[in-house]
Protein backbone atom coordinates (compact mmCIF):
# COMPACT_ATOMS: atom_id res chain seq x y z
CA UNK A 1 0.00 0.00 0.00
CA UNK A 2 1.36 3.43 -0.95
CA UNK A 3 2.42 5.45 2.10
CA UNK A 4 3.79 8.50 0.26
CA UNK A 5 1.65 11.06 -1.60
CA UNK A 6 1.51 10.04 -5.26
CA UNK A 7 0.70 13.42 -6.81
CA UNK A 8 2.49 16.75 -6.53
CA UNK A 9 0.89 20.07 -7.52
CA UNK A 10 3.30 22.94 -8.25
CA UNK A 11 2.06 26.54 -8.40
CA UNK A 12 3.11 29.98 -7.16
CA UNK A 13 -0.34 30.72 -5.71
CA UNK A 14 -0.91 29.26 -2.20
CA UNK A 15 -4.68 29.63 -2.51
CA UNK A 16 -4.77 27.46 -5.63
CA UNK A 17 -2.64 24.80 -3.93
CA UNK A 18 -4.95 24.81 -0.88
CA UNK A 19 -7.90 24.34 -3.23
CA UNK A 20 -6.30 21.26 -4.80
CA UNK A 21 -5.74 19.77 -1.35
CA UNK A 22 -9.36 20.32 -0.30
CA UNK A 23 -11.05 19.06 -3.46
CA UNK A 24 -8.82 16.07 -4.23
CA UNK A 25 -7.74 14.66 -0.87
CA UNK A 26 -10.72 12.27 -0.61
CA UNK A 27 -9.59 10.36 -3.71
CA UNK A 28 -5.88 11.09 -4.13
CA UNK A 29 -2.78 11.42 -1.97
CA UNK A 30 -1.62 14.94 -2.78
CA UNK A 31 1.44 17.06 -1.96
CA UNK A 32 1.89 20.71 -2.90
CA UNK A 33 4.94 22.87 -3.57
CA UNK A 34 5.04 26.66 -3.82
CA UNK A 35 7.11 27.24 -6.97
CA UNK A 36 9.51 25.14 -9.01
CA UNK A 37 12.49 25.45 -6.67
CA UNK A 38 10.54 24.10 -3.68
CA UNK A 39 9.17 21.33 -5.89
CA UNK A 40 12.63 20.22 -7.02
CA UNK A 41 13.87 20.19 -3.43
CA UNK A 42 10.86 18.11 -2.38
CA UNK A 43 11.29 15.67 -5.28
CA UNK A 44 14.93 15.12 -4.36
CA UNK A 45 14.08 14.24 -0.75
CA UNK A 46 11.68 11.34 -1.34
CA UNK A 47 10.72 8.53 -3.74
CA UNK A 48 9.57 9.77 -7.16
CA UNK A 49 5.98 10.98 -7.48
CA UNK A 50 3.64 9.13 -9.81
CA UNK A 51 2.32 12.44 -11.21
CA UNK A 52 3.48 16.05 -11.09
CA UNK A 53 1.03 18.79 -12.13
CA UNK A 54 2.73 22.13 -12.80
CA UNK A 55 1.64 25.67 -13.57
CA UNK A 56 3.33 27.50 -16.45
CA UNK A 57 3.91 31.03 -15.16
CA UNK A 58 6.11 30.75 -12.06
CA UNK A 59 8.99 32.95 -10.87
CA UNK A 60 12.63 31.82 -11.25
CA UNK A 61 11.73 28.76 -13.38
CA UNK A 62 8.68 28.42 -15.61
CA UNK A 63 6.62 25.24 -15.92
CA UNK A 64 8.22 23.96 -19.14
CA UNK A 65 11.77 24.30 -17.79
CA UNK A 66 10.67 22.66 -14.56
CA UNK A 67 9.12 19.71 -16.39
CA UNK A 68 12.23 19.29 -18.56
CA UNK A 69 14.35 19.09 -15.40
CA UNK A 70 11.84 16.69 -13.85
CA UNK A 71 11.92 14.36 -16.87
CA UNK A 72 15.72 14.29 -16.82
CA UNK A 73 15.84 13.22 -13.18
CA UNK A 74 12.58 11.28 -12.77
CA UNK A 75 11.73 9.88 -16.21
CA UNK A 76 8.91 7.62 -14.98
CA UNK A 77 6.94 10.46 -13.36
CA UNK A 78 3.86 11.44 -15.38
CA UNK A 79 3.92 15.18 -16.20
CA UNK A 80 0.78 17.32 -16.52
CA UNK A 81 0.59 21.07 -17.18
CA UNK A 82 -2.32 23.03 -15.70
CA UNK A 83 -2.11 26.68 -16.67
CA UNK A 84 -4.12 29.79 -17.31
CA UNK A 85 -1.70 30.71 -20.10
CA UNK A 86 -3.21 28.56 -22.84
CA UNK A 87 -1.56 30.14 -25.87
CA UNK A 88 -0.36 27.96 -28.72
CA UNK A 89 3.35 28.48 -28.02
CA UNK A 90 3.00 27.37 -24.39
CA UNK A 91 1.13 24.25 -25.44
CA UNK A 92 3.71 23.43 -28.11
CA UNK A 93 6.64 23.87 -25.72
CA UNK A 94 4.92 21.79 -23.04
CA UNK A 95 4.36 18.93 -25.46
CA UNK A 96 7.61 19.07 -27.42
CA UNK A 97 10.01 20.03 -24.64
CA UNK A 98 8.31 18.91 -21.44
CA UNK A 99 6.87 15.73 -23.00
CA UNK A 100 3.69 16.13 -20.97
CA UNK A 101 0.90 13.58 -20.59
CA UNK A 102 -1.94 16.14 -20.46
CA UNK A 103 -2.30 19.88 -21.07
CA UNK A 104 -5.12 21.38 -18.97
CA UNK A 105 -6.30 24.97 -18.69
CA UNK A 106 -7.48 26.96 -15.69
CA UNK A 107 -10.13 26.97 -14.44
CA UNK A 108 -10.28 23.19 -14.85
CA UNK A 109 -13.51 21.41 -13.87
CA UNK A 110 -13.02 19.00 -10.97
CA UNK A 111 -14.13 15.93 -12.91
CA UNK A 112 -11.82 16.71 -15.84
CA UNK A 113 -8.86 17.13 -13.49
CA UNK A 114 -9.74 13.99 -11.52
CA UNK A 115 -10.18 12.00 -14.73
CA UNK A 116 -6.75 13.15 -15.96
CA UNK A 117 -5.18 12.15 -12.65
CA UNK A 118 -6.76 8.71 -12.80
CA UNK A 119 -5.49 8.26 -16.37
CA UNK A 120 -2.05 9.46 -15.27
CA UNK A 121 -1.91 6.93 -12.43
CA UNK A 122 -2.87 4.14 -14.84
CA UNK A 123 -0.15 5.28 -17.23
CA UNK A 124 2.40 5.36 -14.42
CA UNK A 125 1.43 1.82 -13.36
CA UNK A 126 1.84 0.69 -16.98
CA UNK A 127 5.31 2.26 -17.23
CA UNK A 128 6.33 0.68 -13.90
CA UNK A 129 5.09 -2.74 -15.02
CA UNK A 130 6.93 -2.47 -18.34
CA UNK A 131 10.12 -1.41 -16.57
CA UNK A 132 9.85 -4.30 -14.12
CA UNK A 133 9.29 -6.72 -16.99
CA UNK A 134 12.27 -5.29 -18.87
CA UNK A 135 14.51 -5.51 -15.81
CA UNK A 136 13.46 -9.09 -15.12
CA UNK A 137 14.02 -9.97 -18.77
CA UNK A 138 17.42 -8.30 -18.71
CA UNK A 139 18.48 -9.96 -15.46
CA UNK A 140 17.18 -13.31 -16.66
CA UNK A 141 19.02 -13.02 -19.98
CA UNK A 142 22.29 -12.17 -18.24
CA UNK A 143 21.83 -15.06 -15.80
CA UNK A 144 21.17 -17.51 -18.64
CA UNK A 145 24.19 -16.33 -20.61
CA UNK A 146 26.52 -16.54 -17.61
CA UNK A 147 25.20 -20.00 -16.72
CA UNK A 148 25.71 -21.20 -20.31
CA UNK A 149 29.28 -19.88 -20.23
CA UNK A 150 29.90 -21.55 -16.84
CA UNK A 151 28.63 -24.84 -18.21
CA UNK A 152 30.44 -24.68 -21.57
CA UNK A 153 33.70 -23.17 -20.33
CA UNK A 154 34.12 -22.79 -16.55
CA UNK A 155 37.62 -21.37 -17.10
CA UNK A 156 36.30 -18.49 -19.20
CA UNK A 157 33.44 -17.92 -16.74
CA UNK A 158 35.88 -17.84 -13.82
CA UNK A 159 38.02 -15.28 -15.66
CA UNK A 160 34.98 -13.08 -16.32
CA UNK A 161 33.75 -13.37 -12.76
CA UNK A 162 37.13 -12.30 -11.35
CA UNK A 163 37.26 -9.47 -13.87
CA UNK A 164 33.92 -8.28 -12.57
CA UNK A 165 35.26 -8.28 -9.01
CA UNK A 166 38.26 -6.23 -10.12
CA UNK A 167 36.05 -3.84 -12.07
CA UNK A 168 33.70 -3.38 -9.12
CA UNK A 169 36.58 -2.62 -6.76
CA UNK A 170 38.20 -0.26 -9.24
CA UNK A 171 34.90 1.59 -9.81
CA UNK A 172 34.45 1.83 -6.04
CA UNK A 173 37.93 3.31 -5.62
CA UNK A 174 36.97 6.00 -8.14
CA UNK A 175 33.63 6.53 -6.32
CA UNK A 176 31.63 5.88 -9.49
CA UNK A 177 27.91 5.87 -8.67
CA UNK A 178 26.89 3.86 -11.74
CA UNK A 179 29.11 0.97 -12.77
CA UNK A 180 26.61 -1.77 -13.66
CA UNK A 181 27.51 -1.66 -17.37
CA UNK A 182 31.25 -1.86 -16.59
CA UNK A 183 30.75 -4.82 -14.22
CA UNK A 184 28.43 -6.59 -16.65
CA UNK A 185 30.87 -6.09 -19.52
CA UNK A 186 33.64 -7.58 -17.37
CA UNK A 187 31.51 -10.58 -16.40
CA UNK A 188 30.38 -11.31 -19.96
CA UNK A 189 33.59 -10.33 -21.72
CA UNK A 190 34.40 -14.03 -22.46
CA UNK A 191 30.84 -14.95 -23.55
CA UNK A 192 32.00 -15.38 -27.15
CA UNK A 193 33.94 -18.46 -26.09
CA UNK A 194 30.70 -20.45 -26.12
CA UNK A 195 31.21 -20.67 -29.90
CA UNK A 196 34.73 -22.13 -29.67
CA UNK A 197 35.19 -25.92 -29.76
CA UNK A 198 36.72 -27.40 -26.62
CA UNK A 199 39.66 -28.81 -28.57
CA UNK A 200 40.65 -25.31 -29.70
CA UNK A 201 40.20 -23.89 -26.19
CA UNK A 202 42.36 -26.64 -24.70
CA UNK A 203 45.05 -26.12 -27.32
CA UNK A 204 45.16 -22.35 -26.74
CA UNK A 205 45.42 -22.74 -22.97
CA UNK A 206 48.19 -25.31 -23.15
CA UNK A 207 50.12 -23.14 -25.61
CA UNK A 208 49.65 -25.62 -28.42
CA UNK A 209 50.37 -24.69 -32.02
CA UNK A 210 47.24 -23.07 -33.43
CA UNK A 211 46.35 -23.07 -37.10
CA UNK A 212 45.53 -19.82 -38.88
CA UNK A 213 41.84 -20.67 -38.86
CA UNK A 214 41.95 -21.35 -35.12
CA UNK A 215 43.72 -18.05 -34.43
CA UNK A 216 41.07 -16.19 -36.45
CA UNK A 217 38.36 -18.04 -34.55
CA UNK A 218 39.75 -16.90 -31.20
CA UNK A 219 40.31 -13.36 -32.43
CA UNK A 220 36.61 -13.08 -33.29
CA UNK A 221 35.47 -13.96 -29.75
CA UNK A 222 34.75 -10.29 -28.84
CA UNK A 223 32.65 -9.83 -32.00
CA UNK A 224 30.64 -12.98 -31.28
CA UNK A 225 30.03 -11.82 -27.71
CA UNK A 226 29.00 -8.34 -28.84
CA UNK A 227 26.61 -9.78 -31.42
CA UNK A 228 24.98 -11.97 -28.75
CA UNK A 229 24.43 -9.05 -26.38
CA UNK A 230 23.23 -6.64 -29.08
CA UNK A 231 19.97 -8.63 -29.17
CA UNK A 232 19.20 -7.82 -25.52
CA UNK A 233 17.48 -4.50 -24.67
CA UNK A 234 19.60 -1.90 -22.82
CA UNK A 235 22.87 -3.77 -23.39
CA UNK A 236 24.13 -1.78 -26.39
CA UNK A 237 26.81 -0.05 -24.30
CA UNK A 238 27.90 -3.37 -22.78
CA UNK A 239 28.11 -4.96 -26.24
CA UNK A 240 30.31 -2.10 -27.46
CA UNK A 241 32.70 -2.50 -24.50
CA UNK A 242 32.99 -6.22 -25.19
CA UNK A 243 33.56 -5.64 -28.91
CA UNK A 244 36.55 -3.37 -28.22
CA UNK A 245 38.01 -5.19 -25.20
CA UNK A 246 41.12 -6.31 -27.14
CA UNK A 247 41.61 -3.04 -29.02
CA UNK A 248 44.93 -1.30 -28.37
CA UNK A 249 44.94 2.40 -27.53
CA UNK A 250 46.86 3.19 -30.73
CA UNK A 251 44.07 1.60 -32.80
CA UNK A 252 45.80 -1.69 -33.57
CA UNK A 253 44.27 -5.03 -32.66
CA UNK A 254 40.70 -6.28 -33.00
CA UNK A 255 38.45 -5.03 -34.48
CA UNK A 256 40.47 -3.69 -37.40
CA UNK A 257 38.65 -0.40 -37.79
CA UNK A 258 39.64 3.26 -37.46
CA UNK A 259 38.59 3.57 -33.81
CA UNK A 260 41.54 4.55 -31.61
CA UNK A 261 42.53 6.51 -28.52
CA UNK A 262 39.74 8.04 -26.50
CA UNK A 263 37.21 7.04 -29.16
CA UNK A 264 37.53 3.50 -27.77
CA UNK A 265 34.83 3.08 -25.09
CA UNK A 266 36.27 3.87 -21.67
CA UNK A 267 34.97 0.55 -20.33
CA UNK A 268 36.94 -1.31 -23.00
CA UNK A 269 40.11 0.61 -22.11
CA UNK A 270 39.68 -0.29 -18.44
CA UNK A 271 38.91 -3.90 -19.29
CA UNK A 272 42.06 -4.08 -21.44
CA UNK A 273 44.27 -3.27 -18.44
CA UNK A 274 42.41 -5.38 -15.88
CA UNK A 275 42.35 -8.38 -18.22
CA UNK A 276 46.13 -8.39 -18.60
CA UNK A 277 46.65 -7.84 -14.87
CA UNK A 278 44.44 -10.82 -14.14
CA UNK A 279 46.36 -13.00 -16.59
CA UNK A 280 49.60 -11.97 -14.92
CA UNK A 281 48.18 -12.84 -11.52
CA UNK A 282 47.07 -16.25 -12.81
CA UNK A 283 50.65 -16.88 -13.95
CA UNK A 284 51.99 -15.80 -10.52
CA UNK A 285 53.85 -12.80 -11.95
CA UNK A 286 54.64 -9.94 -9.50
CA UNK A 287 52.00 -7.31 -10.06
CA UNK A 288 54.34 -4.37 -9.58
CA UNK A 289 56.59 -5.60 -12.37
CA UNK A 290 53.59 -6.25 -14.59
CA UNK A 291 52.39 -2.67 -14.15
CA UNK A 292 55.87 -1.38 -14.87
CA UNK A 293 55.95 -3.42 -18.05
CA UNK A 294 52.55 -2.08 -19.06
CA UNK A 295 53.74 1.51 -18.81
CA UNK A 296 56.50 0.67 -21.30
CA UNK A 297 54.11 -1.02 -23.76
CA UNK A 298 53.71 1.98 -26.00
CA UNK A 299 50.37 2.19 -27.72
CA UNK A 300 48.82 -0.79 -25.97
CA UNK A 301 47.06 0.85 -23.03
CA UNK A 302 45.43 4.17 -22.17
CA UNK A 303 48.06 5.83 -19.96
CA UNK A 304 45.42 7.63 -17.88
CA UNK A 305 43.53 4.41 -17.19
CA UNK A 306 46.75 2.61 -16.38
CA UNK A 307 47.76 5.37 -13.97
CA UNK A 308 44.35 5.30 -12.27
CA UNK A 309 44.46 1.52 -11.82
CA UNK A 310 48.01 1.67 -10.49
CA UNK A 311 46.94 4.37 -8.00
CA UNK A 312 44.14 2.14 -6.70
CA UNK A 313 46.32 -0.98 -6.90
CA UNK A 314 45.87 -2.07 -3.28
CA UNK A 315 42.13 -1.45 -3.47
CA UNK A 316 41.19 -3.13 -6.71
CA UNK A 317 43.47 -6.17 -6.54
CA UNK A 318 43.19 -8.14 -3.33
CA UNK A 319 46.12 -10.10 -1.96
CA UNK A 320 45.21 -13.76 -2.39
CA UNK A 321 47.94 -14.80 0.04
CA UNK A 322 45.85 -13.47 2.95
CA UNK A 323 42.74 -15.47 2.05
CA UNK A 324 41.67 -18.23 4.43
CA UNK A 325 40.51 -21.50 2.94
CA UNK A 326 38.42 -24.51 3.87
CA UNK A 327 38.15 -28.06 2.54
CA UNK A 328 34.61 -29.22 1.77
CA UNK A 329 32.90 -32.14 0.10
CA UNK A 330 30.67 -31.43 -2.87
CA UNK A 331 27.57 -31.96 -0.70
CA UNK A 332 28.71 -29.02 1.46
CA UNK A 333 29.42 -26.81 -1.55
CA UNK A 334 27.04 -23.89 -2.09
CA UNK A 335 26.18 -21.43 -4.84
CA UNK A 336 28.51 -18.38 -4.70
CA UNK A 337 31.31 -20.31 -2.99
CA UNK A 338 34.66 -19.57 -4.66
CA UNK A 339 37.15 -22.32 -5.45
CA UNK A 340 40.66 -21.70 -4.17
CA UNK A 341 42.11 -24.51 -6.27
CA UNK A 342 40.85 -26.21 -9.40
CA UNK A 343 38.15 -28.87 -9.29
CA UNK A 344 39.14 -31.93 -11.30
CA UNK A 345 38.30 -35.57 -11.84
CA UNK A 346 40.10 -38.42 -10.11
CA UNK A 347 42.07 -38.79 -13.34
CA UNK A 348 43.23 -35.17 -13.18
CA UNK A 349 40.95 -33.79 -15.89
CA UNK A 350 40.08 -30.17 -14.94
CA UNK A 351 36.41 -29.33 -14.43
CA UNK A 352 36.55 -25.81 -12.99
CA UNK A 353 39.50 -23.45 -12.51
CA UNK A 354 40.72 -21.84 -9.28
CA UNK A 355 38.96 -18.60 -8.44
CA UNK A 356 35.68 -19.55 -10.11
CA UNK A 357 32.43 -18.68 -8.34
CA UNK A 358 30.03 -21.60 -8.06
CA UNK A 359 26.82 -21.09 -10.05
CA UNK A 360 23.74 -23.33 -9.88
CA UNK A 361 24.67 -24.99 -13.19
CA UNK A 362 28.31 -25.51 -12.18
CA UNK A 363 27.20 -26.93 -8.82
CA UNK A 364 24.91 -29.38 -10.62
CA UNK A 365 27.78 -30.38 -12.91
CA UNK A 366 30.12 -31.06 -9.97
CA UNK A 367 27.43 -33.08 -8.19
CA UNK A 368 26.91 -35.17 -11.32
CA UNK A 369 30.64 -35.99 -11.39
CA UNK A 370 30.46 -36.87 -7.69
CA UNK A 371 27.49 -39.19 -8.22
CA UNK A 372 29.57 -41.06 -10.79
CA UNK A 373 32.43 -41.21 -8.25
CA UNK A 374 34.63 -39.27 -10.69
CA UNK A 375 35.15 -36.05 -8.71
CA UNK A 376 38.33 -35.61 -6.68
CA UNK A 377 37.35 -34.48 -3.20
CA UNK A 378 37.60 -32.54 -0.99
CA UNK A 379 37.28 -29.20 -2.77
CA UNK A 380 39.16 -26.18 -1.43
CA UNK A 381 37.08 -22.99 -1.18
CA UNK A 382 37.88 -19.46 -0.05
CA UNK A 383 36.32 -18.49 3.27
CA UNK A 384 33.97 -15.53 2.89
Confidence of residue 310 (pLDDT cuts 50, 70, 90): confident
Q: What is the mean pLDDT of residues 352-377?
A: 89
Helices 236-243 & 180-188 angle (0-180, nearest 10) = 50
- Domain topology for 7-129: Rossmann fold (3.40.50)
Is pLDDT of 287 > 90?
Answer: no
State the span(s) of the chain assigned CATH 3.40.50.2300: 7-129
Which tens digit of pLDDT belongs to each residue from 152-170? 888 899 889 889 988 988 8
- Superfamily designation of domain 322-384: Molybdopterin biosynthesis moea protein, domain 2 (3.90.105.10)
Report pLDDT for 87: 65
Report pLDDT for 90: 67
State the span(s) of the chain assigned CATH 3.90.105.10: 322-384
Q: What is the mean pLDDT of residues 335-354?
A: 88
Which tens digit of pLDDT belongs to each residue from 161-213? 889 988 988 888 887 767 889 999 999 999 999 999 989 998 888 888 999 99
- Superfamily designation of domain 153-318: Hypothetical protein af1432 (1.10.3210.10)
Which tens digit of pLDDT belongs to each residue from 24-80? 988 999 999 999 999 999 998 999 999 999 998 888 888 888 999 999 899 999 999
Q: What DSSP assignment string belongs to 354-382?
A: TTPBPPHHHHHHHHHHHHTT-B-SPEEEE
- Please enumerate in sequence order all residues whose Cβ is within 8 A of that of 88, keeping only pairs 6 or more positions apart, or say none: none
Report pLDDT for 88: 67
Report pLDDT for 165: 87
Report pLDDT for 315: 44
Which tens digit of pLDDT belongs to each residue from 274-286? 999 888 877 777 7
Residue that wins the pLDDT comparison between 288 and 245: 245
Q: What is the mean pLDDT of the chain?
A: 87
Residue 335: count other Cβ atoms within 10 Å of its Cβ: 11
Report the percent of the chain where pLDDT is more than 90.
48
- Please enumerate in sequence order all residues whose Cβ is within 8 A of that of 282, keeping only pairs 6 or more positions apart, or say none: 355
Confidence of residue 7 (pLDDT cuts 50, 70, 90): very high
Which tens digit of pLDDT belongs to each residue from 92-142? 776 777 688 888 888 889 999 999 999 999 999 998 888 888 788 888 888
Report the percent of the chain where pLDDT is more than 70.
93
Q: How far apart are CA 361 and CA 143, in angstroms?
A: 11
CB neighbour burial string for 73-107, b if at least 16 within 10 angstroms, e if fewer: ebeebbbbbbbeeeeeebbebbeeebebbbbbeee
Report pLDDT for 297: 87
Confidence of residue 11 (pLDDT cuts 50, 70, 90): very high
Report pLDDT for 317: 47
State the span(s) of the chain assigned CATH 1.10.3210.10: 153-318
Is pLDDT of 4 > 70?
Answer: no
Confidence of residue 2 (pLDDT cuts 50, 70, 90): very low
Amino acid sequence: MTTHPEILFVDDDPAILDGFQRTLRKEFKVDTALGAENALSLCASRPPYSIVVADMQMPVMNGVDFLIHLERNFPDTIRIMLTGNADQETARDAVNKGHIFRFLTKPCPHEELASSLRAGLRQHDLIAAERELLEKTLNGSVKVLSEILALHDPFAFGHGDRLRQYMRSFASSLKLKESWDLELAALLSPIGYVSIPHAVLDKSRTHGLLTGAEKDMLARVPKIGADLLSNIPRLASVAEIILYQNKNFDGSGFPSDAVAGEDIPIGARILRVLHDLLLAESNHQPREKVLEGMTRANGRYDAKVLEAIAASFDICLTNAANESTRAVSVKDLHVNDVLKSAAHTRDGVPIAPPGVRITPILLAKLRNFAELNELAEPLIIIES
